[in-house]
């Protein structure tokens, strides 16, 4: 009989960070290219005035040239105003099976061989964003105010397509991997790329994971498309303000309300004969690993799998997609990830054979690196750093130069699976021939 094994809460702050990055990108695109000198997303979800976020004597902001924009997200739980409130799909109506009915859960992943599914309970949340744009002259203030007034739809909700990523509790991924024969807890073998490809082979949605180069922790995510309901309100201007007798600015402020769907709770579902031998599950995500009072900005490209299709082409197959957040202490310096974090262990071994045989490894794997929504050129970027990124096959590293601690990097990997599989078969038969006979 099918039953809910266990449940786990997603890291909602990551998805909120997705939405905040979307709002930031949406606002930047309204203005001319490179218009803003600085765009800041306040990391704290709290009821604060913008002046508290900026600080009355904040040296970092005082030394910045105008114009700049500050985005402050606020979580709101006004149930009566939210679409879909008080229905069984989004709200617990009884306490059957830890408050959730299986027929109201949405399936993400199905492993038919082991009779296990990963499902989620739908939530619909609302975020409010306080936006302040500061410019250096009254003329700019008036021009921008009128431009915003005429370009945008005010005080009327409308929908827009958006792509988001929801963190899946790691303990659930570990269990799914173990019953599938992939143990990601092993210290001597990096099975993260293997489990990611396994998840995508059985998932209805693209699955990815994030590498944090500062901590070395991996987080697993479900990539999904949805529609966000946006409302622009409270467009205002105020008189110019002078700070420290030298820093004069003119503010434009307004508010954006965003409603969107997201997974609120994950559940592992299967048959009662499957046992959780030696497995422990926490009710929530490992909160000690992240500051749950913060929004975690993570840029998600709305048309990622349209720009980088998963269909085979030119002899190459889509291999994996991995998010990278660089070490804040290496901001504007060199940072890297190991290629073993994106390529399966058995394929890493085969790369050594190709290298020994003099076959260029670029003919086996093709990689692209994105910084937010921009694909970075391989090697040189004359306008920014001498180098942007490169692959060091000898040291098995993907190196990022002038790393930006605020950016979301994403490496897209394509592989010549025909060559890889042929080499795997050849290696298998070679190992069979070399086995001593009894």
Give residue-wise pLDDT tens across range 379-430: 865 566 678 999 999 999 999 999 999 899 999 999 999 999 999 888 877 7
Strands 38-41, 68-76: pairing kind: parallel
| Rounded Cα distance, 394 and 401, in Å | 18
pLDDT band at 144 (very low <50, low <70, confident <90, very high): very high
Q: Which of 295, 215, 260 is nearest to 21 (CA)?
A: 295
- The domain segmentation of the chain, as residue ranges, is 2-289, 304-434
pLDDT tens for each residue of 165-223? 999 998 899 989 988 899 999 888 899 999 999 999 999 999 999 999 988 888 999 99
- Residue 159 burial class via C-beta count within 10 angstroms: exposed 0-12, middle 13-18, buried 19 and up: exposed
**In whole numbers, what is the pLDDT of the chain averaged over residues?**
84
Q: Which of 339, 387, 394 is nearest to 365 (CA)?
A: 339
pLDDT tens for each residue of 56-98? 445 555 555 789 899 999 887 666 666 666 666 666 656 555 5
Strands 38-41, 207-212: pairing kind: unpaired
The angle at the Cα of 274, spanning 272 to 278, to the nearest 5 degrees, equals 125
Instruction: Supply φ then ψ for residue 178, to 5 degrees.
Output: -65, -40
Quick one: angle between helices 417-434 and 345-356, nearest 10? 90
């Amino acid at each position: 009989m099918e039953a809910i094994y266990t449940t786990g809460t997603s890291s909602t702050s990551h998805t909120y960070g997705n939405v905040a990055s979307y709002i930031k990108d949406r606002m930047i695109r309204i203005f001319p290219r490179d218009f803003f000198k600085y765009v800041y997303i306040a990391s704290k979800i709290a009821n604060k005035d913008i002046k508290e976020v900026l600080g009355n004597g904040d040296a970092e902001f005082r030394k910045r040239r105008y114009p700049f924009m500050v985005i402050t997200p606020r979580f709101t739980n006004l149930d009566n105003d939210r679409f879909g409130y008080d229905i069984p799909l989004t709200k617990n109506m009884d306490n059957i099976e830890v408050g959730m009915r299986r027929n109201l859960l949405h399936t993400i992943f199905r492993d038919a061989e082991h009779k296990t599914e990963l499902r989620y309970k739908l939530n619909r949340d609302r975020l409010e964003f306080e936006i302040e744009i500061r410019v250096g002259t009254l003329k700019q203030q008036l021009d921008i105010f009128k431009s915003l007034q005429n370009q945008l739809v005010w005080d009327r909700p409308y929908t827009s397509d958006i792509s988001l990523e929801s963190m899946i509790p790691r303990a659930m991924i570990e269990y799914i991997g173990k019953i599938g024969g992939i143990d990601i807890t092993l210290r001597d073998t990096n099975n993260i790329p293997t489990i990611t490809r396994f998840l995508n082979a059985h998932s209805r949605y693209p699955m990815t994971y994030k590498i944090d180069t500062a901590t070395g922790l991996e987080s697993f995510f479900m990539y999904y498309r949805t529609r966000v309901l946006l409302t622009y309100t409270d467009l205002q201007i105020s008189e110019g303000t002078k700070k420290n007798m030298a820093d004069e600015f003119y503010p434009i402020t307004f508010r954006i309300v965003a409603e969107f769907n997201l997974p609120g709770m994950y559940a592992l579902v299967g048959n009662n004969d499957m046992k959780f031998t030696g497995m422990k599950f926490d009710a929530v995500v490992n909160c000690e690993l992240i500051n749950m009072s913060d929004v975690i900005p993570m840029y998600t490209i709305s048309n990622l799998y349209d720009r980088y299709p998963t269909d085979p082409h030119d002899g190459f197959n889509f291999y994996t997609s991995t998010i990278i957040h660089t070490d804040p202490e290496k901001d504007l310096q060199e940072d890297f990830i190991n290629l073993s974090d994106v390529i399966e262990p058995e394929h890493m071994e085969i790369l050594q054979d190709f290298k020994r045989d003099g076959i260029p490894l670029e003919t086996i794997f093709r990689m692209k690196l994105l910084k937010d929504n921009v694909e970075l050129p391989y090697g040189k970027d004359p306008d920014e750093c001498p180098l942007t990124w490169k692959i060091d096959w000898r040291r098995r590293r993907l190196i990022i130069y002038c790393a930006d601690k605020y950016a979301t990097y994403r490496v897209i990997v394509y592989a010549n699976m025909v060559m890889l599989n042929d080499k795997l078969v050849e290696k298998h038969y070679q190992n069979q021939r070399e086995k001593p006979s009894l």
